[in-house]
Amino acid sequence: MDNTQINEELEKNEEMTAENTAASEQFAQADQNSAELNRVREELASSKDKYLRLYSEFENFRRRTAKEKLEMVQSANEQLIKALIPVLDDFDRAEKSFAEKTDKDAEGFKLIQAKFKKVLDLYGVKEMEVKQGSDFNTDLHEAITQVPAPDPSLKGKVVDVVEKGYLLNDKVVRFAKVVVGN
């Protein structure tokens, strides 16, 4: 081999070394880019998870506040209704005293009573249907006393209704006061 060939070989080796160095630098850069890409993907996944958790928490908050608002609206008149129920009791007592009378005063009274009941019905107030012989239910009734049952079939059942009970949107506003057979 002569010097020219050796020089050419050396130049080729140097070129190959430079190419190898450039390739290894590219591989190092690619590894670094890959690590950066993985880090960014992990951050993205973490951000998505945080977003989903925050979104679901907000949705739960929104539902809860909407439910609370609905409950507040439904029971907003509860205090007023509780105050008006004794007036309704007074109407019922007065109706019993007007039962024998047929004059115009009784008619006017009955019209006022009917209008009052209609307004209460409009706002969701319902009278509990409690009759003698009904099962005693602690969720709806308040036992004010127990008496010996006049009939064995009335044991543990309602013997008499002392005061009517009322519901507001299916929620007890006033328990029915009853006498229970013993």
Radius of gyration of the chain measured on its C-alpha atoms: 43
- 56 or 152: which leads in pLDDT: 56
- What is the predicted pLDDT for the residue at 102? 64
Tens of pLDDT, residue by residue over 10-29, are 778 777 887 778 777 887 78
Domain 78-181 architecture: Roll (2.30)
Which positions ≥6 away from 142 have C-beta within 8 Å? 175, 176, 177, 178
Are 132 and 162 within 8 A, CB to CB? no
Tens of pLDDT, residue by residue over 83-125, are 999 999 998 888 887 776 666 667 778 888 899 999 999 988 9
For residue 120, what are its two tokens?
């209460």
Q: Which of 163, 162, 91, 94 is nearest to 120 (CA)?
A: 91
Would you state the torsion angle of the CA atoms of residues 10, 12, 17, 23, taken in this order, to the nearest 10 degrees?
A: 180
Element of type H or E holding 29: helix 3-74
Q: pTM above 0.85?
A: no
Q: How far apart are CA 15 and CA 8, in angstroms?
A: 10
